[in-house]
């Protein structure tokens, strides 16, 4: 019997048409793939050959008559809209309550619990920003002082000083 393989490609943040709950998240009219393809020449021949254009519903994304793979698109079944919610959903873990979000930074209660849990005395920052921005703004001070840089995003910054195992290697 031949070996069967599954290669799951998650195109993080690459939405294809808006979802029914788009208005709840400020995503009315969302279709990231179409907007990218309309703005510039989209050159992703391997993804097109795997069937991306066949699910894109966009005149600017080429379809492929005989894709080299089975393809499909999914929509969020869980309450919430972020990687922390969506990635476990791929494996079947569906949440009924969205995780809390902190668009204006973490509340004092959350920060206090974080400091207690990590043993840190003080923190740096506490606003809404992408991890790369926080690293640019606070990274050197974090490395120099060991104080954790906090921001309202879920991406990893620098976990070495917090006693948290780094599982990225």
In this predicted structure, the answer to whether residue 55 has a pLDDT above a threshold of 60 is yes
- In this prediction, residue 163 carries a pLDDT of 52
pLDDT tens per residue, range 10-47: 887 788 888 888 888 778 888 888 888 889 888 999 99
- pTM, two decimals, is 0.60
- In this prediction, residue 153 carries a pLDDT of 58
In DSSP notation, 99-133 reads PP--BTB--HHHHHHHHHHHT-S--EEEE---HHH
Paired tokens of 151: 């921001």
Distance of CA 159 to the CA centre of its chain: 19
User: Where would I find the H helices in the chain?
Assistant: 32-39, 45-49, 52-56, 83-90, 108-118, 131-145
pLDDT category, 48, cuts 50, 70, 90?
A: very high
Of the candidate ranges 28-32, 82-86, 115-119, the one whose mean pLDDT is the lowest: 82-86
Contacts of 159 (CB under 8 A, 6+ apart): 165, 166
- Distances 84 to 126, 154, 164 between C-alpha atoms, Å: 20, 8, 18
């Amino acid at each position: 019997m031949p070996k069967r393989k599954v290669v799951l490609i998650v195109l993080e943040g690459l939405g294809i048409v808006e979802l029914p709950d788009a208005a709840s998240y400020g995503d009315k009219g969302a279709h990231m793939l179409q907007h990218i393809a309309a703005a510039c020449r989209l050159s992703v021949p391997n993804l097109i050959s795997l069937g991306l254009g066949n699910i894109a519903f966009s005149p600017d994304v080429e379809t492929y008559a005989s894709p080299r793979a089975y393809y499909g698109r999914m929509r969020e079944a869980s309450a919430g809209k972020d990687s922390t919610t969506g990635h476990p959903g791929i494996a079947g873990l569906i949440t009924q309550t969205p995780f809390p979000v902190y668009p204006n930074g973490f509340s004092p209660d959350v920060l206090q619990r974080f400091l207690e849990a990590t043993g840190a005395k003080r923190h740096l920052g506490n606003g809404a920003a992408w991890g790369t921005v926080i690293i640019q703004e606070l990274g050197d001070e974090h490395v120099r002082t060991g104080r954790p840089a906090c921001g309202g995003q879920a991406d990893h910054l620098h976990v070495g000083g917090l006693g948290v195992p780094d599982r990225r290697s």
